[in-house]
A = this chain, B = another copy of it.
């Protein structure tokens, strides 16, 4: 029986002592295993995972172990459960937690800062200086602590966002992606109504960056990419203009659209040498660039142009500064339809298939979601 000391037991949900969870064996090896259901501590809750979206970073972690790994080493063969874009139902409460109730639907941010370092003390909890040190209180679920490809996961209450009844489970898994896009705009200053915004790269973060920027009143919002299908989705999500860079020069078009001066804000979500160069050259004097993606190798960069033009460049790695809450509010108000990027759904038991769809972009997959809503679905499928 799951009744650990310090956990409120007046639970509406039955919680088993053992749970089914995918764990990472060697590179690209995922195994469905039984694990003890984790126990929430002070300021934590246990979340019954109902749905998880797959992020490109999940694929990378499963394949290479980067960009962050548990306990400072590679995450392989450590019984580690990846998955960070999940949502679910509060199943148990840690000591003294009254901020949430058993049975509430919640979606999650990835990062809980240590709350002790200089950055956390500034509110920059995703830049926590104790990153990867759970003993200091830091958690990055699915990165350095266990994530959501499992029946249950523990979350610090700081990482939870309530899900309204009107929002489906799969849509709720997209909040952290939208929150990352929103954080990009937050760090760019936030006052984007009437400002020109270019989003480079129609991946999930880029597409939702279009949606969020437009919802906040930015204009024109321009999206660049190479695949017309993706660009068409960007149009549906609010892009005033899309640029297929295989047919048009994005820097020229952006200059033309902005009276020759370039864009106020650029959100770079493609992460290649070429697109970073475009970002720099399509930003106007005093403008700002948010880097939300990156190339793995050093790249040739026109630093001179950045300096001569007083350009501001910010790197963001995921969500931050409670932007996920801001994103949720826009989604709850139906300001944009994030589900336009949700293309495929599989049961959690079929995670390997889901990962393949995401990795190989089978049937033009964008966001692949795995669900575990039917009680026992994962267990029965696996046993």
Contact = CB atoms under 8 A, between A and B. Distances in A.
A26 B67 CA distance: 53
A169 B222 CA distance: 29
Interface string A48-80: 000000000000000000010000000000000
A310 B157 contact: no
A4 interface: no
A3 interface: no
A329 B193 contact: yes
A330 B127 contact: no
B126 A123 contact: no
Contact of A126 (B126, B128, B310): B310
A326 interface: yes
A310 B121 contact: no
B317 A307 contact: yes
Contacts of A189: 190
Interface in A181-196: 182, 186, 189-191, 193-194
A292 interface: yes
A295 B300 contact: no
A5 to B, nearest CB: 15
A125 interface: yes
B136 A96 contact: yes
A205 to B, nearest CB: 12
A263 B330 CA distance: 19
B307 A302 contact: no
A312 interface: yes
A276 interface: yes
A34 to B, nearest CB: 30
Contacts of A296: 304
Interface stretch (A146-154, A213-221, A245-253, A349-357): A213-221
Nearest to A327: B193
24 contacts: A67-B308, A96-B136, A115-B158, A121-B158, A122-B321, A126-B310, A127-B310, A128-B285, A193-B330, A194-B326, A194-B329, A216-B216, A217-B329, A217-B335, A219-B329, A271-B307, A291-B307, A299-B301, A306-B315, A307-B315, A307-B316, A308-B315, A310-B317, A312-B312
In the A-B complex, the 7 residue pairs with the smallest Cβ-Cβ separation, listed nearest first, are A127-B286, A123-B123, A194-B329, A307-B315, A193-B326, A115-B115, A301-B301
